[in-house]
Amino acid sequence: MKRIPISILALLALFSLGSSLSGQEVVTEHVTLELVAENNALIPGQKNTVAVRLKMDDHWHTYWANPGDSGLPTEIAWTLPEGITAGPIQWPAPQWIDYFEMVSYAYEGEVFLLVDLEVPGGFEATGQVDLAARVDFLVCKEACIPGGADLTLSLPISAEASAGPDQSRIQTTRKQSPAELPDWEMRVVDNGESFALSVLAPEGQSLDGREVTYFSLDGWIAPSKPRTSLAEGRVLTIVMPKTEYAPEEGKDQFQGVLVSDKPWDAAGDYQALAVSLTYSANEEVASWLASAGGGNTRILTGSNSDASSAGTSKGFITLLLFAVTGGLLLNLMPCVFPVLSIKVLGFVQQAGEDKSKVKIHGMVFTGGVIVSFWVLAGIFLALRSAGQEIGWGFHLQAPGFVAVLTSIIFLFGLNLSGVFEIGESLTGAGSDLQGKSGYSGSFFSGVLATLVATPCTAPFMGTAVGVIATLSAVKSMAIFTALAIGVALPYLILSFFPAFLNAMPRPGAWMETFKKALAFLLYGTVVWLAWVFGNQVGVNGMGALLMGLVIMGIAAWVWGYWGSLAKRKSVRTIAFVVALPLLCAGGYLQYWASGLEPPQIAMSSEKSDAINWQAYSPETVSAMVADGKTVYVDFTATWCLTCQVNKKVAFGSDEVIQYFKENDIVALKGDWTRRDPVISRELQRFKRNGVPTNIIYRPGGEDTLLPEVLTPGIVLDALREG
């Protein structure tokens, strides 16, 4: 028998030892599990770290100690030799996973759950000891599947040990676990409906531009409700709404993990800070920040404080002026022009009337605008308090609302075209009633102006609207009121200064032709809204919307031709019986179409020589920036006409296209046509609450926010600044 070479024997011994440091893999549905050790032996009297390794299939995740809105944390039940005890799981910092407006604190990819085993100092060195662990977990993607596995691992008891094959990954995981760094000071305040966590950086460090996420370990913070953060110099303050499970009394500690996109320590090892605090008073924390020389001595108190320049009265007055200016400029947007034309026609009709009546019409129109903005504000604030992430123009993200608005404007156009008359039955009811009807028309014009104005974010308006998500309810209402005043101001001025009305032509037969011509402006608006609807629900849905309009048009024609006062009562009754079901049928068809989903089409450039846009995701931005590339993100929506102008003017420029290609600029498009909480959160991070919003992300964290209205020069200058 030939002698086996010593080198082969050594390799076999090494393989045998290495295989003993890792248990056998257990493969379950979507998760592979294994029990591994940091060292090749257990040393009595020392800390001995073992870990459960979980490797999830792509896009599947298991959960952290606090799973967030839903889920279950992974549990480990140990069966150990007598005398050996296991400590708690050392949870590495989790990931923020947002799915259908539910936030989970979880892990994707691979995770090591570390556990320290205590081996008594008097434990004698022996041969192999068997470690066993029952691991129960919940793994989720679209669906959630509970799973479990029995893991085993054999290790010797020895006075000495060397590194195991998984030591480096276990040490990396240890650095991903929350660290206690005394140089970073923290305080927390309980404000009743929210918690305010303040962090003070060490001398010489700034928190400006740092992206920080807090994961609540105690489960007292609502994961999916919007948060407010303010960084000024050495101070970062985060205001987080409470969950309904937070106890009113008996809380003694505030516990969680603070994760940053940049390391907390100078060595660059730790990106997660352990948070374990007792509660402080607002006055105490303000004094602490002031004495420490922090730039921000204002403690955010949830609904009673504002994280923006609106924190000072001067800043808030500036915001109000921006809002009024933005409202004024909305009248120049193509969204509002059809309604503007109709209102001008109304002033022409009223030019020969009593000037006091014209003033009343102007005030009623203004009232319609203001009341409509207040209703929008109420809905906005109610959704915000419920944790919804919404923004300016949010109502046009609902296909059902777009369908209703399209139908109203279409019928309004048919009325101008003379297909049917509104209020004809009131003709002989007396002059007082006729005047009342006119005022109702002015009020409705104000409502309609509001509905079609909000899809556009005019210049100067983005700043004012963007901070609404962080303002108190009272200040938010003030901003909405200022916007309404800006929209209505030209009409109000026109009604109060008769000299301008005197310059208008007197009423006459020409007005009938002018009225019918204006109908085509409304039909153009209908085409735009149908296009928005089609982008939301697909071409089949758009076809159903248009067919619904045809049926409604037939109903309007039937009523206009046979329902007039010139017809006999029996004829009018038949016309009503025929028109009403047709109107309902058209509406039902549109209701059905509103529930359709658009086909998934891969995003690509519209032509080979244009900018190659890709779909936006925070992960893509992070990966590309980490790879050293500049990323340009256009947050847009099909219902935003300013966005479409930017698309043609700025992104259609040959010079801009060439610059993107030559400098390898990564172009991402964030489509906000339908609600997307991920995009909403990113907009709020930049104090914006509407589109268009354009941001340049650069390596090193120097992000650039561009203005709403773009030109090729603005885009190129912003890119070249980096």
Backbone angles phi, psi at 187, to 5 degrees: -140, 155
pLDDT score at 490: 78
Contacts of 167 (CB under 8 A, 6+ apart): 38, 39
Tokens of 90: 């050392």
Q: Evaluate if residue 576 carries a pLDDT over 80.
A: yes
Contacts of 30 (CB under 8 A, 6+ apart): 56, 57, 60, 139, 141, 145, 147
Q: Residues 381-399: pLDDT tens digits? A: 665 555 444 444 444 556 7
Cα separation, 670 vs 692, in Å, equals 10
Please check whether residue 514 is in contact with residue 347, taking contact to mean a CB–CB distance below 8 angstroms. Answer: no
Q: Evaluate if residue 163 carries a pLDDT over 70.
A: yes
Peptide bond connecting 692 to the previous residue in cis, omega within 30 degrees of 0: yes
Please check whether residue 181 is in contact with residue 59, taking contact to mean a CB–CB distance below 8 angstroms. Answer: no
Tokens of 636: 């847009």
Contacts of 394 (CB under 8 A, 6+ apart): 380, 383, 675
The string over 251-273, giving b where at least 16 C-beta atoms fall within 10 Å of a residue's C-beta and e elsewhere, is eeebebbbbbeeebeeeeebbbb
Cα separation, 200 vs 197, in Å, equals 10
Mean local confidence (pLDDT), 21-49: 87
Backbone angles phi, psi at 566, to 5 degrees: -75, -15
Helix (H) or strand (E) holding 13: helix 6-20
Q: How many CA atoms lie within 13 A of 419 on its CB side?
A: 16
Q: Evaluate if residue 455 carries a pLDDT over 70.
A: no
Long-range pairs of 353-356 with CB within 8 A, sequence gap ≥ 24:
355/498, 355/501
CA angle 287, 293, 299 (to 5 degrees): 45
Of the candidates 298, 34, 272, 280, the residue with the CA atom closest to the CA atom of residue 172:
272
Q: Evaluate if residue 462 carries a pLDDT over 50.
A: no
Q: Residues 622-644: pLDDT tens digits? A: 889 888 899 999 998 776 657 77
Q: Three-state secondary structure along 664-685?
A: CCEEEEEECCCCCHHHHHHHHH
Q: Evaluate if residue 721 carries a pLDDT over 70.
A: yes
Cross-strand partners of 719: none
Measured distance between the N- and C-terminal CA atoms of the chain, rounded to whole angstroms: 73
Which ranges in 613-705 belong to alpha helices (H)? 618-626, 641-649, 654-662, 677-685
- Measuring CA to CA, how many Å separate 383 from each of 226, 395, 398, 629? 11, 12, 14, 37
Q: Evaluate if residue 545 carries a pLDDT over 60.
A: yes
Mean local confidence (pLDDT), 205-223: 85
Cross-strand partners of 13: none
Q: Residues 225-244: pLDDT tens digits? A: 778 777 777 888 888 888 76
Instruction: Catalogue all structural domains in the chain, each as residue range(s) with its CATH number.
Output: 19-173 (2.60.40.1250), 185-305 (2.60.40), 311-398+422-511 (no CATH), 614-721 (3.40.30.10)
Q: Residues 645-676: pLDDT tens digits? A: 788 888 988 899 999 999 999 999 998 776 67
Cα separation, 551 vs 514, in Å, equals 27
Please check whether residue 646 is in contact with residue 653, taking contact to mean a CB–CB distance below 8 angstroms. Answer: no
Of the candidates 217, 198, 199, the residue with the CA atom closest to the CA atom of residue 256:
217
Of the candidates 301, 244, 384, the residue with the CA atom closest to the CA atom of residue 677:
384
Query: Among 23-27, 37-41, 316-320, which stretch is predicted with the lowest mean pLDDT?
Result: 316-320
pLDDT score at 235: 84
The reported pTM is 0.44
Identity of residue 141: K
Q: What is the DSSP letter of 203?
A: T
- Ramachandran assignment for 664, one of left (phi > 0), alpha (psi -120 to 50 degrees), beta (any other): left
Mean local confidence (pLDDT), 686-715: 83
Q: Evaluate if residue 99 carries a pLDDT over 80.
A: no
Cα separation, 716 vs 414, in Å, equals 45
Cross-strand partners of 157: 42, 126
Tokens of 651: 């992104």
* Residue 341: band (very low, low, confident or very high) from pLDDT cuts 50, 70, 90: low
Q: What is the DSSP letter of 312?
A: S
Contacts of 520 (CB under 8 A, 6+ apart): 413
Go through the chain and tell me how many residues it has.
722
Of the candidates 558, 621, 620, 625, the residue with the CA atom closest to the CA atom of residue 586:
558
* Residue 9: band (very low, low, confident or very high) from pLDDT cuts 50, 70, 90: very low
* Residue 135: band (very low, low, confident or very high) from pLDDT cuts 50, 70, 90: very high
Instruction: Say if strands 47-56 and 110-118 run parallel, antiparallel, or are unpaired.
Output: antiparallel
Helix (H) or strand (E) holding 635: strand 631-636
Q: Quote the crossing angle between the two packed helices 712-721 and 654-662, to the nearest 10°.
A: 20
Q: Residues 491-529: pLDDT tens digits? A: 778 777 756 655 655 555 665 676 677 678 778 778 877
Q: Residues 261-298: pLDDT tens digits? A: 888 888 888 889 999 888 888 777 777 776 665 544 44
pLDDT score at 10: 36
- Measuring CA to CA, how many Å separate 574 from each of 60, 535, 578? 61, 39, 6
Q: Residues 105-120: pLDDT tens digits? A: 999 999 999 999 998 8
The whole-chain average pLDDT of the chain stands at 76
What radius of gyration do the chain's Cα atoms show?
33
Cross-strand partners of 190: 195
Q: Please provide the DSSP assignment of 580-604 as one string.
A: HHHHHHHHHHHHHHHT---------
CA angle 587, 592, 595 (to 5 degrees): 130
pLDDT score at 158: 85
Of the candidates 195, 201, 260, 271, the residue with the CA atom closest to the CA atom of residue 228:
195
pLDDT score at 54: 96
pLDDT score at 6: 38
Q: Cβ atoms within 10 A of the Cβ of 107, count? A: 23
Q: What percent of the chain has pLDDT over 70?
A: 71
